[in-house]
Chains A and B, each alone.
Chain A
Amino acid sequence: MQMHAAKRVAIIIETVMQKRLTQALSSAGVSGWTILPVLGGSGRSGEWSREGQVGRGTGLVQVVCVVSPDKLDKLLESAFAVVEPQIGIVTVTDCEVLRAERF
């Protein structure tokens, strides 16, 4: 099969910032993403679990998107403006996709 190079960007962000992040992605020309709940983890404040969260002021989500390499810089600039002051992680990995036109 013909494969096409792409970039997979995964951003863990506070739940309360999710909408702002997806708006930033849209402004960077990203048309699709997937949002996943984060079950728990450990950070500078210690271990935490989704079960212990009350309201939108706590908890994290992961936003995943796959983009063509030429869109990456604009995406990161836009996303980082949202993530930088918050609790969050941005990771970028190389990947391949079958349908280049979708990204």
Chain B
Amino acid sequence: MLDLALNNLLSPIVLSFLLGLGAALARSDLSVPEAVAKGISIYLLFAIGFKGGVSVADNGFDLRLGATLLAGVALSFALPLLAFLLLRLLSGISRVDAAAVAGHYGSISIVTFVAATSILSDAGIAAEGYMVAVAAAMEAPAILTALWLIARGSGETRVEGDLWREILLNGSIVLLLGAFAIGILTGADGLARIESFIVSPFQGVLCLFLLDMGLVAGRGLRSGAKVLDSGAIAFGVVMPVCGAAAGLLAALVLGLSPGGAMLLMTLSASASYIAVPAAMRVAVPQANPAIYLTLSLAVTFPFNLTIGLPLYLSVAQTVTGG
């Protein structure tokens, strides 16, 4: 575990993140242009989706794929309930804010997922290719649970047809699933054609993206920390571990490989900061966005990247005997 953690901390991707974090905290003018960050995001989503599809094409479909998808959806529905209870126990924030935050912790962070796949790749550990599809499936259900929590507390929500279209067709889901489908259809031959584009540069591109994420997290800490009490900050660290435990339990029941188990733990431990914030701003405008964005970006994401991922891998390997 210590070796894993140290190797992770000294990896280019984590150090790139720490560089961005430090630069932002030190108020450096270092920045990644918005369009560049968007382009990098598109590249990473396409690459991870495509490679996942190729893996499924190579290994074929089986019942476990369907079961894992269902498990992912169930986790996404259920984790907000755990998050809500935990946050209400630990922090004094309002019910509406707690429910909005909970929605983020039932959904997933694709960047954290990408970082996890990178760690597995570096370690030479294989994972089920369809975990990409599981990631996409886990994006949206948590929003429903969050809205139910708010409605149950007599809070107002604004849910309309356009909102659901935006949620279900948000760019990351469309791109991830689309690239996954292309990977399935084209298989190993397709991968061979574009390997120099989506495999060789992947690690370097991820470093630049995590540099930007470090900058974002650092700015979030500077501007948003005052909206969080100590209990909320504790939640931002404790909840990922609880979520990972739930993911591990599901992985054991499903019989996933150590790599697959680690990825499901990561998905369950991560918090959304792209899809769910957009939905919450439309549906629950009374919730304070500074709370959930700061928790997701500036507390949980750094924790997962630096400590969580090696922890989840170590536990997954130990428990699955991998």
Contacts and interface: CB of A to CB of B under 8 A. Distances in A.
A56 B276 CA distance: 10
Interface string B277-311: 11111100110111001000100000000000000
B281 A17 contact: yes
A60 to B, nearest CB: 11
Interface in A25-45: 45
B7 interface: no
B216 interface: yes
Interface stretch (A46-54, A69-77, A89-97): A46-54
Interface stretch (B82-90, B128-136, B218-226): B218-226
Contacts of A54: 216, 273-274, 297
A57 B223 contact: no
A31 B279 CA distance: 28
A52 B162 CA distance: 27
Interface string B207-246: 0000000011001100110110000000000000000000
Contacts of B290: 45-46
Nearest to A56: B278
Given A20-B162, A46-B226, A51-B31, A57 B278 contact: yes
B62 interface: no
Given A54-B273, A54-B274, A85-B158, A16 B282 contact: yes
B146 interface: no
B193 to A, nearest CB: 31
Given A45-B227, A45-B288, A52-B223, A14 B281 contact: yes
Contact of A52 (B216, B274, B280, B288): B216
A57 B158 contact: no
A87 to B, nearest CB: 8
Given A52-B216, A52-B220, A85-B158, A58 B277 contact: yes
Contacts of B162: 19-20
B214 to A, nearest CB: 12
A1 to B, nearest CB: 40
A22 B214 CA distance: 34
B34 interface: yes
B142 interface: no
B26 to A, nearest CB: 15
Contact of A47 (B215, B223, B273, B297): B223
A103 B209 CA distance: 45
A20 B219 CA distance: 29
A57 B288 contact: no
B116 interface: no
B275 interface: yes
Contacts of A56: 274, 278
B289 A58 contact: yes
Contacts of B281: 14, 16-17, 57, 86
A55 B34 CA distance: 10
Contacts of B219: 49, 51-52
Contacts of A53: 34
A17 B286 CA distance: 14
Interface string B239-280: 000000000000000000000000000000000011111111
Contacts of A48: 223
9 contacts: A19-B162, A45-B224, A46-B223, A49-B219, A51-B31, A52-B223, A55-B273, A57-B276, A85-B286
Given A45-B290, A86-B281, 9 more contacts: A14-B281, A17-B282, A45-B223, A46-B290, A55-B278, A57-B274, A57-B277, A57-B289, A85-B286
Interface of B: 31, 34, 158, 162, 215-216, 219-220, 223-224, 226-227, 273-282, 285-286, 288-290, 293, 297
Interface of A: 14, 16-17, 19-20, 45-58, 85-87
